[in-house]
Structure 1
């Protein structure tokens, strides 16, 4: 049976006035962008938080070298790393396998050279040294951690600076050792 000519304009008018389901359609359009932005903000905040925790642990651990306690106790690189990991890092980092400790000492300020740990190919250069130095030496203590990046890379806001969607977090403490009596400390 044919429809009257006025049926189609009436149908369009009713469709335009009907507001049921508008909220669901609007949510379907906005939700992916909202959740993508929310997860990007959370991931960025986590990176900053982890970086700050690493910075705090570096400062606390460097104090053992600054005061000569590490040298007088003849701590090895592994023992110093255990000391670093003893700061309750397990809630943020995989400390035993993921933290890298680099300690270098210099006789004077003019010869201090801090190498870049990221190669041109975006890989981590693991040439860690442990030389806490003698009293009055300039010491550079650095901690590194390869933090995995999940969300932001997918959104085009890439936080990674290493291959494999990872960001190298680093924290540095530079200081002059206090005067202290020490035995023969060797560097490794």
Structure 2
């Protein structure tokens, strides 16, 4: 008896392979898993960045109230003392000592407010280093900056606005000082 033709053996093997479904779920998961996990991590990182931005906004509003009511001026706060006060309100998310930058500027009226962009053309952060809390009735702009490190940018999702895979979080409060 002769052996079957090679093409018949191949056809029979392919039919048997096509009918056998064991392992197909593992293969399908291996194809879909990288995209799924990349998307999942991108969503988580975006949520954390938005949450950190909201925390920074809340801390800015709370800290600016110290200046608006004249408490910081009456106590003779320096920029370092004001930063220490702000850092006391930020507990978990931020490296306050090394990463937080504070900019407090005073103006005689709202029309004179001039705010510069702290990101230069090379996508580097140039921290403004001002602290002028003003007097009663002055217009004050308080800005807090934090360079947030990003991790998912290597997977093709990039929300960085600074070089080195970082996102500059900015929070601003503009107000007129109370007549203290």
CA distance in 2, matches of 1:129, 1:2: 94
Aligned runs of 1:30-109 on 2, under 5 Å? 30-87=32-89, 89-109=90-110
Runs of 4+ in structure 1 displaced over 4 angstroms?
Answer: none
Residues 143, 2 of structure 1: CA spacing in aligned structure 2 closer, same or farther, 3 A cutoff?
A: farther
In the alignment of these two chains, the number of paired residues is: 178
Deviation at 1:109, TM superposition (A): 1.2
TM-score (structure 2 length as normaliser): 0.95
CA distance in 2, matches of 1:128, 1:55: 19
Deviation at 1:133, TM superposition (A): 0.3
For 1:184, the equivalent position in structure 2 comes to: none
SS in 2 for 1:105: strand
| Structure 1 unaligned blocks of 5 or more | 181-188
Deviation at 1:2, TM superposition (A): 6.4
| Structure 2 unaligned blocks of 5 or more | none
SS in 1 for 2:85: helix
For 1:185, the equivalent position in structure 2 comes to: none
Residues 104, 12 of structure 1: CA spacing in aligned structure 2 closer, same or farther, 3 A cutoff?
A: same
Q: CA RMSD in A?
A: 1.3
Deviation at 1:13, TM superposition (A): 1.3
